[in-house]
Amino acid sequence: MGIELKEIYDGFAATYDENRGLFDMTGVFEAFYHSLGQEKGHLLDLGCGAGEPMARFFIDHGWQVTGVDFSEKMLKLAARYVPEMTPIFEDMRMIDFSKNTFDGLTAIYSIFHLPVHDQEKLFRQIHKWLRPEGKALFTYGTKEYTGFDEFEGYKKFMGQELFYAHTTPEKLTDFLESIGFDILSKDYREIGGETFLWVTMEKRSVG
């Protein structure tokens, strides 16, 4: 299995400044911010990394942000770039919050590193943590990235073998709808030369 993912991300943190801004997602997160329709709120960013661009953007727009990451070195960068963010140094599978805590949630290039059964457990937690009509934006792996309809395995990224997992977009959205989300958008986007599915969903207010 090689070195653990969090150690790989600790390593990436060392060269973070060189690759800063490689993936420009401005359009995506501006659209998500406007879809939330509120001036202020509380965002949870899962796999926040160095706190850019998501935490920085929401804090600059007056939101409170809590960021979770299991790479200590990434969180050290976040403390430098986004000192206003509340950091939680933990595996996102191990955290818990009260029901209806957050107005919005992002998981950008992070959930795809969990096995599919852990993704499903996390999506149920996300449903609990979001308030009714709260929205989430996340990036999901598909065959456009891995070459397979469904995948659990390793792929090379920046010279390292990283674990990725995904089911099909249809199974994903069926599952999310079955646990109480409405899918607002799902778009394939090529950013920084890599294509992923970007999903926006809302916690259904009844049911």
**Would you count residue 91 as binding ligand SAM (CB under 6 A)?**
yes
Q: Which is nearer to ligand SAM, 48 or 201 (CB)?
A: 48
- Minimum distance from residue 50 beta carbon to ligand SAM (Å): 7
- CA neighbor of 141 nearest in space, from 119, 126, 174: 119
Residues 15-54 that bind ligand SAM (CB under 6 A): 47-49
**Would you count residue 85 as binding ligand SAM (CB under 6 A)?**
no
- Minimum distance from residue 165 beta carbon to ligand SAM (Å): 11
How far apart are the C-alpha atoms of 149 and 168, rounded to whole Å?
6
Q: Which two tokens stand for residue 175?
A: 């599952």
Place of tokens 């390793």: 154
Residues 107-126 that bind ligand SAM (CB under 6 A): 108-110, 113-114
Q: With H, G, I as helix, E, B as strand and everything else as coil, classify residue 11.
A: helix
Give me the DSSP letters along 106-141.
Answer: EE-S-GGGS-HHHHHHHHHHHHHHEEEEEEEEEEE-
Cross-strand pairs, 181? 203
- CA neighbor of 151 nearest in space, from 172, 133, 173: 172
How far apart are the C-alpha atoms of 78 and 183, rounded to whole Å?
30
138 near 199, Cβ under 8 Å? yes
**Sole window of 58-66, 89-97, 140-148, 189-197 interacting with ligand SAM (rule: CB under 6 A):** 89-97
**Sole window of 2-10, 26-34, 96-104, 185-193 interacting with ligand SAM (rule: CB under 6 A):** 2-10
**Sole window of 85-93, 140-148, 165-173, 187-195 interacting with ligand SAM (rule: CB under 6 A):** 85-93
**Would you count residue 155 as binding ligand SAM (CB under 6 A)?**
no
**Would you count residue 103 as binding ligand SAM (CB under 6 A)?**
no
Number of residues this chain uses to bind ligand SAM (CB under 6 A): 19
Residues 50-79 that bind ligand SAM (CB under 6 A): 68-71, 74
- CA neighbor of 194 nearest in space, from 141, 130, 135: 141
Give the binding site for ligand SAM (CB under 6 A).
5-6, 9, 47-49, 68-71, 74, 91-93, 108-110, 113-114
